[in-house]
């Protein structure tokens, strides 16, 4: 069992360590959070508390790390991109939050000790890992009673604005190559030989945005166009979609937050 399924691009070969360089500020400002009900499901399902250790792998600018720390759960955030990690380190936490320890490392090589984690989380990140190598690493660092959690926000294009926004996103040349593998990357966990008691749950999510927010959200993607003429055309198309759907200067970009959970098989 390797990365993505047969005939599908293995994104772990697409320079995941540096392709987000230059995007940290936009990522931190414009990426969606996760719904409270999803985080609460993970906390409850995995029996996490102040004595737990949660490893957030591919933590980026710390969006998911902070949501767990602010619920009193200590986090070790693993992020290979130095710029993203530094941005996460300076983001503020609410008073009373648990600690977040930021470290370098990858999904395939976390640098952590055997059986040191009560939960391993990959939020909006697992599709960038080599699936088989990362799953072996997660199995190694999880305690026998621990849980692996894979989580993604994916656009819910049953919503008209979100579909129109997605149509613009798909005009970028690399969109299909990234979004295709990402869409089903968690399925491997449901039948993997190293894990058991696997299941998938889903929750609704939305991001209310003004025009600047729509542009920022789109350009925070690593596959958004960067060449000036292409970027300008992309921005114009996004503004047109925003103008069609906005009400009082706002639109709602809708998502399905998918969560895959499983226990290590020993």
Average the pLDDT over 245-253 and give the result.
98
pLDDT number for residue 8: 45
Mean pLDDT on 135-163 = 98
**What is the mean predicted confidence (pLDDT) over 125-135?**
95
Residue 209 lies in a domain: no
For 217-250, give one letter per residue: b (16+ CB within 10 A) or e.
Answer: bbbbbbbbbeeeeeeeebbebbeebbeebeeeee
Tell whether 129 is covered by a domain. yes
Does residue 174 or residue 124 have the better pLDDT? 124
Residue range 53-76: average pLDDT? 97
pLDDT given at position 175: 78
Is position 259 within any domain? yes
State pTM to two decimals.
Answer: 0.90
pLDDT in tens, 32-46: 999 999 999 999 999
Task: Give residue 23's pLDDT band: very low, low, confident or very high (50, 70, 90).
Answer: low
Question: Has residue 138 been placed in a domain?
Answer: yes
CATH number of residue 91's parent domain: 3.40.50.150
* Mean local confidence (pLDDT), 203-215: 98
**What does the chain look like in DSSP terms, one character per residue?**
--SSPTTS--GGGS-TTTTTTT-HHHHHHHS----HHHHHHHHHHTT--TT--EEEET-TTSHHHHHHHTTT--EEEE-S-HHHHHHHHHS---TTPPPEEEE---SS---PPTT-EEEEEEES-GGGS-HHHHHHHHHHHEEEEEEEEEEEEEE-TTSHHHHHHHHHHTTSTTHHHHHHHHHTGGGHHHH-TTEEEEEEEEEEEEEEE-HHHHHHHHHTSTTS--SHHHHHHHHHHHHHHHHHH-BTTBEEEEEEEEEEEEEEP-
Residue 231 lies inside a defined structural domain of this protein: no
Q: Which of 53-67, 178-192, 218-232 has the lowest mean pLDDT?
A: 178-192
Q: What is the pLDDT of residue 181?
A: 65
Within a domain: 6: no
User: Is 162 inside any structural domain?
Assistant: no
Higher per-residue pLDDT: 12 or 23? 23
The number of domains in the chain is: 1
pLDDT of residue 1: 33
Average pLDDT, the chain: 91
Highest mean pLDDT of the ranges 14-18, 90-94, 119-123, 176-180: 119-123
- The answer as to whether 95 is a domain residue is yes
Q: Which domain holds residue 187?
A: 11-155+174-204+255-264
Q: What is each CA distance from 214 to 119, 208, 245, in whole angstroms?
A: 33, 9, 12
Instruction: Report the sign of the C-alpha dihedral through residues 133, 136, 140, 144, in that order.
Output: positive
């Amino acid at each position: 069992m390797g990365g993505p399924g047969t005939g599908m691009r293995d994104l772990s070969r697409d320079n995941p360590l540096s392709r987000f360089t230059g995007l940290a500020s936009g990522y931190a400002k414009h990426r969606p959070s996760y719904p409270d009900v999803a985080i609460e499901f993970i906390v409850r399902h995995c029996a996490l508390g102040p004595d737990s250790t949660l490893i957030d792998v591919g933590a980026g600018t710390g969006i998911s790390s902070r949501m767990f720390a602010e619920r009193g759960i200590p986090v070790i955030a693993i992020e290979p991109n130095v710029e993203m990690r530094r941005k996460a380190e300076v983001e503020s936490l609410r008073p009373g939050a648990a600690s977040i320890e930021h470290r370098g490392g990858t999904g395939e090589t976390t640098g952590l000790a055997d059986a040191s984690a009560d939960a391993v989380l990959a939020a909006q990140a697992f599709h960038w890992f080599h699936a088989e190598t990362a799953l072996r690493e997660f199995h190694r660092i999880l305690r026998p009673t621990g849980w692996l959690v894979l989580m993604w926000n994916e656009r819910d294009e049953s919503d008209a604005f979100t579909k129109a926004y997605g149509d613009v996103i798909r005009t970028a040349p690399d969109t299909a190559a990234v979004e295709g593998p990402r869409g089903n990357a968690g399925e491997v966990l449901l039948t993997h030989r190293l894990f058991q008691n696997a299941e998938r749950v889903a929750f609704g999510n939305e991001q209310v945005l003004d025009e600047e927010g729509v542009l920022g959200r789109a350009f925070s993607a690593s596959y958004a166009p960067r060449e000036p003429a292409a970027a300008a055309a992309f921005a114009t198309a996004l503004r047109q979609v925003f103008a069609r759907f906005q009400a009082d200067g706002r639109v709602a970009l809708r998502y399905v937050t998918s969560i895959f959970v499983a226990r290590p098989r020993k």
